Structure 1
Amino acid sequence: MIADIKKNAETKMQKSIESLKISLSKVRTGRAHVGLLDHVMVDYWGSPTPINQVANVTLLDARTIGVQAWEKPMVAKVEKAIRDSDLGLNPMSMGDVIRVPMPMLTEERRKELIKVVKGESEDARVAIRNLRRDANDQLKKLLKDKDVSEDDERRGQDDIQKLTDRYIVEVDKAFAEKEKELMTV
C-alpha cells in the first residue's frame, strides 16, 4: 500500500516536471528552435490543426525558422497563424517557404521573460508540494484505519519527503537553465 502511494506520487511529480519543461520551451529566447511553433494552430479547411501537421518546420539558421506548407493554398493561412500567435513573430513568405526570423530580445524583455519563467517554476514547486501533502494524507489515513504501523507511516512520509526534495531540485535546475539561456545574448 505504501509502495503504491509512493509510486503514484512519483509518477505525478514526474508529470509536473514534464509539464514545466513544456511550458519553459514555449518561452522564446533569442535563438530559433522548431518547438517554438508547436502550439500554433492553423485553420486547415475549417478545423484548427497544429502547424506541424500541415507544414514542414525546420531551422534555416540559428535565428531563422523555415516553414514549408504541404499544400500551396495553406501558405497564407500558415503565415497568418504564426503572425496571430502570441509569440510576437513576423513571418515573411518567399514562394513556398515562410521564413520566421527571431527578433533580438531587449534587456527589459529578457527580465520580463525571467519573471514568467520564475512564475512557471513556482507553480511546479507548488504542484509538487501539493502531491506530497496528498500522499502524506493517504499515509495518515492508512495509519488511522490501522492498516500500517506508525513506524511504516513515518518511513513512508520520509520517503515522500525525499522524493519531493529531489523533484524540487529538478525544478530549480530547469529554471536555472532557462534563466541562463534567456540572459545569453
Structure 2
Amino acid sequence: MLRPKHELLLKQMNDQMKKILNYFTHKLAQIRIGKANTDLLDDITVEYDDKTMNLYHLASIELTHSNTILIKPWEDHILPLIETSILKSNLGIVPINNGKLIKMLIPNLTEESRKELIRINNLKFEQAKISLRNIRKEYKKRITLTLSDQDLRNKYNQDINERTKQSICLLEHIWNKKKKEIIKPI
C-alpha cells in the first residue's frame, strides 16, 4: 500500500536530484573546449540603466564559425558595457570590439589546459555525487521518522536507493560524455 505522504516525499527527492543533474549539465555546457558555444555567455550580466540584465536581453548572439561568437547589441551605446562585462566574467577570452559588434574567438585548448579542466570538473562531479547521496540520506531519515511499519520503511528505503543509483549513473554518463569532448582535440 502506497502512502500519499511518502510518495510526495519521493517526488520531492526526485525533484531535488533533477535540480542537481540540471545544474551540473548546465555548468558542463559552459566549459570552453575550443569550440564556440553560446552557453559560455549564459551567466554574463550587464549593468544597464541601473539594472543588472542578462546579456541575452541586450544583444543577439550567433555562432559564425566553430570557434567564433558574434554579439550584436540592440543599441550601439551598450557595446562598451557588454565588453566590460565579458572581461570581468573571467572567461579567459578577450572580446574584440569593432564599434558595431563584439567578436569572440575561442582559442583551442592546450593539453595542459585540457587536463586542468578535467581535474577541476572531476571535483564538481564528485561534489554532485555527494549532494545526491546527501539527499538520499535526508529522505531515508524522513521515511524512518514518519513510518513505523518496518516492511514499508524497507520498501521506501529500497526505492530511495534505486533512484539515487539511477541519478548517479546518469550523472556519470553526462560527465563521461563531456570528458570525451574535452580530451578530444578539435
TM-score range, shorter chain: over 0.9
The corresponding residue for 2:93 is: 89
- Root mean square deviation of aligned Cα: 1.1
Deviation at 1:46, TM superposition (A): 2.9
The corresponding residue for 1:70 is: 74
Gaps of at least 5 residues in structure 2 are: none
The alignment covers a number of residue pairs equal to 181
Tell me if the contact between 1:42 and 1:77 (Cα under 8 Å) persists in the aligned partners.
yes
Give CA deviations for 1:84-141 in whole Å, capped at 9, x if unaligned. 2110011112241211000111111111111111111111111110110011001110
TM-score normalised according to structure 1 size: 0.93
The corresponding residue for 1:99 is: 103
TM-score normalised according to structure 2 size: 0.93
Give CA deviations for 1:140-165 in whole Å, capped at 9, x if unaligned. 1023xx3xx11111010000000000
- Give identity over the alignment, percent: 28
SS of aligned partner of 1:42: strand
Deviation at 1:70, TM superposition (A): 0.7
Deviation at 1:27, TM superposition (A): 1.9
The corresponding residue for 1:173 is: 173
The corresponding residue for 2:11 is: 7
Higher mean C-alpha deviation, range 162-171 or range 46-55: 46-55
Residue type of the partner of 1:169?
C
Distance (Å, rounded) in 1 between the aligned partners of 2:82 and 2:62: 14
Tell me if the contact between 1:57 and 1:65 (Cα under 8 Å) persists in the aligned partners.
yes
Gaps of at least 5 residues in structure 1 are: none
